[in-house]
Amino acid sequence: MFEIREKEEGEIIIVELYGELDSSSVPAFNLGFREITGKRGPKKYVLDMKALEFISSAGWTAFLNEFKALRASGGDLKLAAMGPDAKRVYELVGVNGVIESHETAKEAVKSYAKKS
């Protein structure tokens, strides 16, 4: 089961992910995330992974694709609160060289203020 929810933190949109993100749930992520970015526009986003129990390579690919699309349109995306297994894969496959990550969603939100 996969679920996606959004909440606003000032100018930043936190997108909370729940459940498992694999090849069967990536279409739901893509649809949900694009719905959010479609109505919000190219803003600053944080993907809060604290309730994400599992992420497959298909999930990481989806994150990278959304990151590139946001950057191309003037937005940005950061990751937050990933579990140990996700963090290991994040570093192993080199996503850490592309998408910034923070320990908590609150830290990710704060990090945007530092760069503005």
For position 13, which CATH number holds? 3.30.750.24
Please, what sign has the CA dihedral across residues 104, 38, 33, 76? negative
Percent of the chain's residues with pLDDT above 90? 92
In contact, 21 and 29? CB cutoff 8 Å = yes
User: How far apart (Å, rounded) are the C-alpha atoms in residues 12 and 101?
Assistant: 15
For 34-59, what is the mean pLDDT? Answer: 95
Cα(113)–Cα(116) distance, integer angstroms: 5
**Is residue 37 pLDDT above 60, yes or no?**
yes
| pLDDT above 60: residue 115 | no
> Over the range 73-87, which residues count as b (16 or more CB within 10 Å of their CB) and which as e?
eebbbbbbbbeeebb
* pTM summary value: 0.95
Whole-angstrom CA distances from 75 to 2, 54, 71, 85, 87 are 25, 26, 5, 28, 24
pLDDT in tens, 77-108: 999 999 999 999 999 999 999 999 999 999 99
- Burial of residue 38, with CB atoms counted within 10 A of its CB: 0-12 exposed, 13-18 middle, 19 or more buried: exposed
pLDDT above 70 covers a percentage of the chain that reads 98
DSSP 42: S
For 32, the domain range is 2-115
Average pLDDT, integer, range 17-34: 97
Domain count, the chain: 1
Flag whether pLDDT at 116 surpasses 90: no
